[in-house]
Amino acid sequence: MKRAPIYDGLGKYLKEVIKVSEEPEVDITTELKESEADILINYLPVGSEYGSRQYAEAALNAGCGFINAMPTFIASDDGWSQKFEQKKIPLAGDDVMSQIGATVLHKTIAKLLVDRGVEIQETYQLNVGGDTDFLNMLEEERLKSKRISKTSAVEALIPYETKIRIGPSDYIEFLNNRKICYIWMKGRYFGGTPVTIDVKLAVVDAPNSAGVMIDAVRGMKLAWDRGIGGALYSLSAYCFKHPPQQMPYHIAKEMFRRFIEGEIDR
């Protein structure tokens, strides 16, 4: 284990519970080169905007693929995508989507209502949990990109303006690694008849993105083997909340399957 630079990775609440190693910091680019790493996965805490960009830059300098699991906008930023494409280095992100989590469930319900002709008038999603991720998100100023990421993922499935509020809500210490999500939707169907949907989802948070990230790593290895650089569109849309191109989940899944089989997804 080696200590990389922390940058803005520790907010004021995390500093109270996380002990920082006394080992000297290493140079990220040098370590990536010497270890001959193919892929760097960024799982910095929410709000680590500067740190995430520093790790992306190190991946570029080391010739290393970059998977951005956090809501800092890198894969979905044209400037970053062009940098990786010019060096023929694959890039994926942003903000990993859990295997079964609040965002994918909210997206699925929204698409169902739209497909069935229900006009969605109002919807919200609130999340509570007891791990350090939720403790970190008590710091409101670290949440800007997180709110945008989660909101845009659902908005992309609703082809008209509606009232929507999405974001983390509170830290409840005794929940430990459990995460509880509340989704509420209000709409109207034939004849202006009202309908509401009220859903509660409870999951163990820690392993929830593991399977999705394994798919992302495998997809990026295929891109490496094929000499593909820049943002990976279908992989990002399938695995992440804020990809370069938002797609309905079933379309993203089908495009990613085709990419695996050898098609180019752009």
| Cis bond upstream, residue 94 (ω within 30) | yes
Task: Flag whether pLDDT at 265 surpasses 80.
Answer: no
Give the CATH number for residue 224.
Answer: 3.40.50.720
pLDDT score, position 134: 94
Mean pLDDT, the chain, rounded, equals: 95
Of 204, 230, 246, which marks where a domain is finished? 204
Of the residues 179, 204, 229, the one at which a domain ends: 204
More confident residue, 45 or 250: 45
Which residue range(s) make up the domain with 170? 102-204
**Statement to judge: residues 19 and 87 lie in one domain:** yes
* The last residue of a domain, from among 183, 204, 225: 204
Tally the C-alpha atoms within 13 A of residue 8's C-alpha that lie toward its C-beta: 13
CATH at 152: 3.30.360.10
Specify the pLDDT at position 266: 63
Q: Which residue has the higher pLDDT, 120 or 263?
A: 120
Taking the C-alpha atoms of residue 45 and residue 207, their distance in angstroms, rounded to an integer, is 16
Taking a C-beta distance cutoff of 8 angstroms, is the pair 188, 118 a contact? yes
What percent of the chain has pLDDT above 90?
Answer: 92
Residue 159: pLDDT over 70:
yes
Amino acid at 208: N
Domain match, 192 and 231 both:
no
Tell me: do 29 and 63 sit in the same domain: yes
pLDDT one-digit tens code per residue, 44-65 = 999 999 999 999 999 999 999 9
Cβ atoms of residues 5 and 28 within 8 Å: yes
Mean pLDDT, range 84-98, rounded to an integer: 97
Q: 199 and 72: one domain?
A: no
- Which residue, 71, 70, 90, is CA-closest to 80? 90
pTM: 0.93
- pLDDT at position 108, please? 93
Total structural domains in the chain? 2
Within a domain: 93: yes
Whether residue 124 is found in the same domain as residue 142: yes
